[in-house]
């Protein structure tokens, strides 16, 4: 058994659904081979039991007790082999299911994390959640059935050979009849696939509605919109139910065909076999074996039908997975020179050629503008979170560096950070690279000591999704501690104290300066408490860098800066 999740789920083949599913199969070919081996052994043992029973009955007919005993022993041995192989086949099948499902989950999760805001801009959160929770299971189910399907094919061929050796007419009936049964199910597969697709889309819409509503639950309650949501959710639920009923109807018809067609085949096979026994062309033991073969053949046929069903569902699921994987991040590694670009020297200056901004290494630089959206966009550009050129780290343009290298050296804190469900320790240090003392020091720098005091289990306390159990200011300070723990070469903070009171803001400003001493820190803010601690303040007016200096210098020499910071109104 493998350890899950994978250290590296691999690079999938996304050229088509078939190629993607084939890539998944190749990625776990060993367990598929093991499952197929035991699946074949399991079904072959079942197929040989009627054959051994038939020979045992012939021994009874000919009063040969020794032959009967030998064949009875073989039947017992085949039963034991079937039982043991069945256990191993089931273990391998479940492993194949889990391996495929986890690989798909990791592929989607990692791609979503790597693309950042590109996924929610293209696809709703509910769709992504449904892809992870539902589509991955459907693909895993196909991998689970595949070993049994291999056993069904081999056992069918074996039974056909045995029956053909016993009687050519009966053998031809098996060789021709069983494939015809499978082909007869073909017309049901396409409408089944279409109805699966519609049901999947309706379920995705319902999940998306639920996820979006939960995210805005407080707003809904505030404006009295709960009844509107309940009515809309009921309507979507009815759409999902109706799609499920239509899908179930098609599935029920397919199940009925799986019972009817093999039943008709069994009747014909028995009728022909009985006539051959009466004519003396087939021994009584062979007739008994024939009944066993006829009943046994129901299993391969049903397995073939199940394989057709799960493969169809897996193809529908693969379409949704590929839709997620097709979303490209907004800042891809497109530069052909990215892998060859020189690595900037440590503690290099950060330069934005478009505005003329130069952030000296090791300094605490703060950016102020009459338009806050401008400095926020500038922060994204400094961290290469958006496409564009003109930003250099030392002498190396950021767009010529691999994105992974940029993310390692420059960290931009989101102005609206998200906290994830889990322990506080895991939220601060997902990779477990820091000890408790370092985590507590980061929390102290962010003035988040009160968060630790209010949580009974401290760092081991569970933080609810999006940090709902914390206040807005507490969430902001925990998020600040999270980026401080990383200790990046360049840290860019966007309004890191917008949700805290003045006393806490002043404490954060002083502690941030001390904690980041010797490393480059850029802060987008218009708070005088923060600006007073800056080494350099850069003032932008109408999208242009107008002045740089200390906070006190700009307050005395730049009226527009003073009005923005103190929130004074323009003189008439």
* Predicted pLDDT of residue 161: 82
Count of alpha carbons within 13 Å of 313, Cβ hemisphere only?
Answer: 23
Domains of the chain, CATH where assigned: 17-325 (1.20.1560.10), 350-566 (3.40.50.300)
Q: Tell me if 390 sits within 8 A of 384, measured CB to CB.
A: no
pLDDT at residue 521 tops 60: yes
* Predicted pLDDT of residue 226: 62
pLDDT digits (tens, 9 = 90+) for 94-122: 999 999 999 999 999 888 888 877 777 78
* Predicted pLDDT of residue 193: 59
Place of tokens 């046994």: 296
Cα 21 from Cα 419, distance rounded (Å): 34
pLDDT digits (tens, 9 = 90+) for 17-61: 999 999 999 999 999 999 999 999 998 898 888 888 887 887 777
pTM of the full structure: 0.67
Cα 197 from Cα 199, distance rounded (Å): 5
Phi, psi angles (nearest 5°) of residue 420: -105, 160
* Predicted pLDDT of residue 188: 60
Phi, psi angles (nearest 5°) of residue 433: -95, -5
pLDDT > 70: percent of the chain: 86
What is the mean predicted confidence (pLDDT) over 310-335? 84
Cα 238 from Cα 203, distance rounded (Å): 10
Query: Residue 568: in which H helix or E strand, if any?
Result: none
User: Other C-beta atoms within 10 Å of 320: how many?
Assistant: 24
Pairing mode of beta strands 391-393, 350-352: antiparallel
User: Other C-beta atoms within 10 Å of 378: how many?
Assistant: 25
Give bridge partners of residue 397 from the DSSP assignment: 392
Nearest Cα residue to 512 out of 400, 365, 361, 381 = 365
pLDDT digits (tens, 9 = 90+) for 194-213: 666 666 666 666 666 565 55
Cα 329 from Cα 404, distance rounded (Å): 13
* Predicted pLDDT of residue 572: 44
Higher pLDDT pick, 475 / 247: 475
* Predicted pLDDT of residue 184: 67
Cα 284 from Cα 296, distance rounded (Å): 18
**Token couple for 352:** 């934005």
DSSP notation for 237-275: HHHHHHHHHHHHHHHHHHHHHHHHHHHHHHHHHHHHHHH
* Predicted pLDDT of residue 547: 94
**Token couple for 124:** 């709703």
pLDDT digits (tens, 9 = 90+) for 148-191: 899 888 888 888 888 778 777 777 776 677 667 666 666 666 66
The vertex-309 CA angle with 306 and 314, nearest 5°, equals 120
Where residue 283 falls among pLDDT bands split at 50, 70, 90?
confident
């Amino acid at each position: 058994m493998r350890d899950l999740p994978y250290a590296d789920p691999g690079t999938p083949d996304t050229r088509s659904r078939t190629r993607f599913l084939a890539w998944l199969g190749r990625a776990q070919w060993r367990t598929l081979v093991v499952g197929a081996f035991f699946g074949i052994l399991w079904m072959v043992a079942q197929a040989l039991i009627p054959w051994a029973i038939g020979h045992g009955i012939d021994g009874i007919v000919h009063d040969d007790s020794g032959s009967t005993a030998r064949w009875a022993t073989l039947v017992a041995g085949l039963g034991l082999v079937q039982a043991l192989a069945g256990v191993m086949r089931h273990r391998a099948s479940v492993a194949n299911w889990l391996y495929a499902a986890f690989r798909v989950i990791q592929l989607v999760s990692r791609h979503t994390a790597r693309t950042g805001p590109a996924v929610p801009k293209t696809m709703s959160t509910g769709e992504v959640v449904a892809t992870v929770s539902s589509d991955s299971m459907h693909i895993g189910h196909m991998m689970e059935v595949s070993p049994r399907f291999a056993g069904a094919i081999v056992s069918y061929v074996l039974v056909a050979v045995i029956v053909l050796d016993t009687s050519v007419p009966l053998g031809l009936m098996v060789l021709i009849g069983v494939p015809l049964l499978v082909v007869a199910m073909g017309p049901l597969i396409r409408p089944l696939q279409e109805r699966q697709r519609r049901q999947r889309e309706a379920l995705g819409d319902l999940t998306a509605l639920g996820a979006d509503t939960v995210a805005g639950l407080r707003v809904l309650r505030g404006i009295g919109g709960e009844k509107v949501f309940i009515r809309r959710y009921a309507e979507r639920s009815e759409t999902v139910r109706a799609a499920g009923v239509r899908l179930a109807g098609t599935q029920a018809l397919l199940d009925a065909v799986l019972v009817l067609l093999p039943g008709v085949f069994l009747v014909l096979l028995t009728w022909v076999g009985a006539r051959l026994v009466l004519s003396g062309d087939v021994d009584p033991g062979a007739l008994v074996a024939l009944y066993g073969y006829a009943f046994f053949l129901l299993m391969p046929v049903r397995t073939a039908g199940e394989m057709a069903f799960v493969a169809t569902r897996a193809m529908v699921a693969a379409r949704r997975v590929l839709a997620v994987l097709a979303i490209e991040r907004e800042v891809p590694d497109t530069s052909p020179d990215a892998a060859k670009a020189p690595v900037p020297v440590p503690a290099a200056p950060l330069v934005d050629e478009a505005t003329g901004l130069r952030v000296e290494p090791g300094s605490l630089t703060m950016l102020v503008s009459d338009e806050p959206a401008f400095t926020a966009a500038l922060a994204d550009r400094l961290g290469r979170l958006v496409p564009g050129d003109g930003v250099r780290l030392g002498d190396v343009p950021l767009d010529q560096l691999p994105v992974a290298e940029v993310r390692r050296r420059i960290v931009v804190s989101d102005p609206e950070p998200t906290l994830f469900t889990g322990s506080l320790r895991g939220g601060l240090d997902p990779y477990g690279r820091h000890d408790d003392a370092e985590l507590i020091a980061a929390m102290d720098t962010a003035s988040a000591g009160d968060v630790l005091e209010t949580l009974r289990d401290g760092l081991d306390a569970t933080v609810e999704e999006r940090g709902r159990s914390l206040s807005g200011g507490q969430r902001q300070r925990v998020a600040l501690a999270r980026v401080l723990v990383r200790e990046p070469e360049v840290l860019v903070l966007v309004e890191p104290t917008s949700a805290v009171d003045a006393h806490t803001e002043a404490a954060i400003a002083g502690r941030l300066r001390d904690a980041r001493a010797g490393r480059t820190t850029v802060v987008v803010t218009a708070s005088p408490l923060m600006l007073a601690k800056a080494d350099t303040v850069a003032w932008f007016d109408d999208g242009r860098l107008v002045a740089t200096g200390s906070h006190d210098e700009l307050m005395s020499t730049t009226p527009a800066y003073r009005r923005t910071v103190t929130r004074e109104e323009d003189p008439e």
